[in-house]
Structure 1
C-alpha cells in the first residue's frame, strides 16, 4: 500500500530486537520567552476479519534504527537563536505574559488558531487557582498568553481577549479555532460564533499541546504560586468507545508500515493529488527520523474509498489504537469521541501482532498513520493522515 511492504514477522520483538525508544521534545527554538496479506471483507455489523498475519518488520542490528527526536531541530524557516538567549530566557519572570507575532510572518496568513483556556496549578493572592489563555498557530508564528482570576471565566471574557489579540498583534481574527478540552466547549463555541469564527474541537492541536508541556516545566513550576502535585481541573476525557457509524465502515484492513521517506512523499503530494488527509510539521515538533525508519500504520480498503475518505476528513482524526484486551482497533477523533473501528478474533498470534504494532508506535514517539485505499494492494491512497499519539498535557 502506497509503498513497499516489509517482510512478515510472526512474533513481537524480543530482547534481541530492542527498539530505540524515542522521546518527543518540543522545538524550543520557536518558543518565545515571556517578555501485508489479503483479508476477508469485514461484516457490516462490526467491521471484523479473520486473524491477521501482519507484514511487520522490527528494527534489529541489521536494520535501520529509530533516531531519537532532537528538541532543537529547526526548520529552514526558523530563525537561528543564540544559545545564550535560552540561558537568559530561563531567568525571565514566570508571572509575565506573552504577546508575539513573528516579524517575517504575513499577518493575513495566520488563519487558524490553537487555543486553551483553563486553570493552572498556580494560586493567586486569594488562594484561588489562576486561569490562563494560551493561543498560538500551528507554526508558532503567533504566541499569546494571559492570566485571569477564576471569577471572570466566561464567554465574554474570552471573546474580548480574542479581539485584543487581533488588535494588539495586527492579525485578522482567524477562520478557525482548534481546542482540545470538552469541558470548555460551550464557552469557546459561544465566543467564536459571536466573532464569526468556526470552533473546531480537536486533539490535533499538537503545537499547543507540546507548548503547554514546555510551559509547565519552564514557567508554571517556577511561578511563586505553583502548587506541586495539583491535578488538572479539567482532565481530558477518555470515554468508552462507541459503535462505528455506518458511513465510516471499510471492507478490509491490515497493519502495515512504510519507510519514513515514503511517508514524506505521501504528505507532500496530498494537495497536488487532491487526496484527503492531513500531515504534521515534524520539523516544528522537533522530530528527526531516519529516512529508512519504518513507521507503523493502518491501511483500510473500501470499494467506496473516496466517500469514506471524505467523511473521515471532516472528523479531525487523532489516533488509532490497538486494544488487545477487547480485541479491537479504536479510532479517536475530535476531542472526546472514540469508535470501535475494527475487531479481530483474539488469539495468541493476533494479540502478539497488535502488541507489536503498538510497540512500534511507541518506539516512534507515537508517530503512525492511517491510509484509505480502494484496494490493499494498490500503490495509491485516496486518504492519508499522519498521526501522533501524545499523552495528555500536565495541566
Structure 2
C-alpha cells in the first residue's frame, strides 16, 4: 500500500516532467447497471473513443511507493520555532496560505496544552510555526501573528488563507476579514496536513512536554451526508481507472484547455507511481456537462468515497460538507466492485479523480478533479 508523504528531495515547486502525448483512455467494457439517483447507469459500451479502463481490482495495479522521508537530525531542537522563506522564491508570488491554529499534545510548565500556529503555502516555500499558551487564543492574537509573518519574512499579506478545522472558523474568519484576506474552509490543505503528520513524528513526539496518547482537542467533522443539490445531479456514472501517465496528462492540460477542475502537486506529495499504475476514478456523464462542471468548480471538491454499507457514493466538499452523490442497488456484484474501487484507492495512497463528460462516448473531459483522500492528522 502506498503511503503519501513529502518528497524528501524536493521542498519547493518544480516543473513537472513532460510526457509524450497519448490517448489516455481505453475502452470501458460492459458496466454493471447501477442507478445514479433517478437516472440509469450506461448500459452499453461499444469500443468507446473515451478510453477509460474498466475498473479492476487492486491486485492488477502496480504501485510504486514514494521515497521514505529522511531521518531528522537528533540534534534538532523540538521546542524551536520556524520562520522560513525559500531564498529563490519571489515573495509577491505567494498569495495563498494554508493555516492551522490548534492545541498540540504537549504540556507547558503549567500543565496546560500548548497551542501552535502552523502556516505554509502549497509548495512549502513559506514555512512558519509559533507556540502560544492556551490563555491567549483569540482573533487578535492570530491577526497579530499573521502580520508578524509578513514582517519577519518580507512577504505581502496573502489573498486567501485555507484552513481545515471548522471549530476555528470564527477566530480565523474574523482575523482574516479584518486584514482583508479571504478565509477558505477547505480540506484541500494537503501540504499543511502532510506537514502536520511529519511534525507529529519528528517534532511533537520528541518535545519534552509530549503527552503520549493525548487525543486531538479539535477533531475533524465527519457529518452525516446530505441530499445532493439539484444543480449537481448527473445522468450516468461509472467506476473507472486511468494509467498514472494519463492522469498526469489530463491534469497538465487543465490550464491549456481552460477546462474546469483542480490538480495536485504530485511531485511535492512524493507521488511517484509507475506510468502504467491504474488510478481509480469516477466518470460522470450528462447532457449538461458544462453547467455541472461549472457548479462543481465553485465547490471545494475534496474526495469521493464508496460507502459500502449504504450502497452509495459520498462527495466531500469544503470543510465539513458531505453529499450522497449517487446510489446503487446493493448486490454481491456491485458491492464487490465498490470494495475493489476503495481498495485500489487505498493502495494508491488515497489518490483518485472525478471526471465530468458530455457522455461516456466523448473523447475528452469537460471537468477533471484530481483528489486525495487523506486520513485526519494526529493532532
**TM-score, length-normalised on structure 1?**
0.86
1:376 aligns to what? Answer: 360
1:13 aligns to what? Answer: none
Shift of 1:24: 1.9
2:157 aligns to what? Answer: 173
| Residues in 1 aligned to 2:32 and 2:5: alpha-carbon distance in whole angstroms | 38
Shift of 1:28: 3.7
The answer (yes or no) to whether the contact 1:304–1:374 under 8 Å persists in 2 is: yes
Alignment map for 1:134-149 (pairs within 5 Å): 134-149=118-133
2:7 aligns to what? Answer: 27
Shift of 1:68: 1.1
Shift of 1:39: 8.3
* CA gap 1:354/1:48 in 2 versus in 1, 3 angstroms: farther
Q: Deviations over 1:344-368 (max 9, x none)?
A: 0001111111001101101111110
> Could you say what secondary structure the match of 2:257 adopts?
coil
> Could you say what secondary structure the match of 1:386 adopts?
strand
Could you list the runs of 5+ residues in structure 1 that have no partner in the other structure?
A: 1-20, 73-82
The Cα RMSD (Å) is 2.1
Could you list the runs of 5+ residues in structure 2 that have no partner in the other structure?
A: 13-27, 45-52
1:55 aligns to what? Answer: 54
| Residues in 2 aligned to 1:127 and 1:283: alpha-carbon distance in whole angstroms | 41
Shift of 1:25: 2.2
1:308 aligns to what? Answer: 292
1:232 aligns to what? Answer: 216
Q: Deviations over 1:347-394 (max 9, x none)?
A: 111111100110110111111000011111212111111111000000
Shift of 1:41: 9.8
> Could you say what secondary structure the match of 1:372 adopts?
strand
1:67 aligns to what? Answer: 64
Alignment map for 1:146-225 (pairs within 5 Å): 146-225=130-209
One of 285, 307, 332 as aligned partner of 1:348 = 332
* CA gap 1:47/1:223 in 2 versus in 1, 3 angstroms: farther
| Residues in 2 aligned to 1:50 and 1:369: alpha-carbon distance in whole angstroms | 19
> Could you say what secondary structure the match of 1:173 adopts?
coil
1:265 aligns to what? Answer: 249
Shift of 1:307: 1.3
| Residues in 2 aligned to 1:52 and 1:345: alpha-carbon distance in whole angstroms | 15
* CA gap 1:122/1:251 in 2 versus in 1, 3 angstroms: same
> Could you say what secondary structure the match of 2:183 adopts?
strand
| Residues in 1 aligned to 2:170 and 2:264: alpha-carbon distance in whole angstroms | 28
How many residues of Structure 1 are paired with residues of Structure 2 in the alignment? 355
> Could you say what secondary structure the match of 1:292 adopts?
coil
| Residues in 1 aligned to 2:68 and 2:363: alpha-carbon distance in whole angstroms | 34
The answer (yes or no) to whether the contact 1:256–1:299 under 8 Å persists in 2 is: yes
**TM-score, length-normalised on structure 2?**
0.89
| Residues in 2 aligned to 1:382 and 1:254: alpha-carbon distance in whole angstroms | 16
* CA gap 1:52/1:130 in 2 versus in 1, 3 angstroms: farther
Q: Deviations over 1:110-158 (max 9, x none)?
A: 0100000000000001110000000000000000000000011001110
| Residues in 2 aligned to 1:219 and 1:172: alpha-carbon distance in whole angstroms | 28
| Residues in 1 aligned to 2:38 and 2:144: alpha-carbon distance in whole angstroms | 47
1:77 aligns to what? Answer: none
| Residues in 1 aligned to 2:284 and 2:176: alpha-carbon distance in whole angstroms | 35
Q: Deviations over 1:87-120 (max 9, x none)?
A: 5x33111111000000000001001000000000
The answer (yes or no) to whether the contact 2:83–2:153 under 8 Å persists in 1 is: yes
